[in-house]
Amino acid sequence: MALGIGCSSRPGKAGNNKTGSWRVFKPIFDHDKCTKCGMCKTICPEGCIEESEDDFFIPDETYCKGCGICAEECPSDAITMEQEEK
């Protein structure tokens, strides 16, 4: 691998850093309560909440740091944080 001249790089490698390993708590999404408002996706600092095929929102565990913002901000209280057993 050659170095990127001047310490430059193309996008695409940030994902190598799997920040999911930082997580202590894990957001659990309750699709029964979810109104699909999309707030969680908007405000997740990791940008790791995706819309699934059925319009529900799910966190990408590879990157979710378990910060709990989504749970705190979900207007429908559809998300709860649980201590994770890895």
By rule CB under 8 A, what count of residues binds another protein?
45
Tell me the β-bridge partners of 8. Answer: none
Q: Nearest-CA neighbor of 65 among 79, 51, 84?
A: 84
Interacting residues with another protein between 8 and 37 (CB under 8 A)? 8-19, 21-24
In the structure encoding, which two tokens stand for residue 18, read together?
């799997």
Residue 22 binding result from another protein, ligand SF4, none, given CB thresholds of 5 to 8 Å by partner type: another protein
| Greatest CA separation for the chain | 51
The residues binding another protein (CB under 8 A) are 1-19, 21-24, 42-48, 50, 60, 62-63, 65-69, 71-73, 81, 84, 86
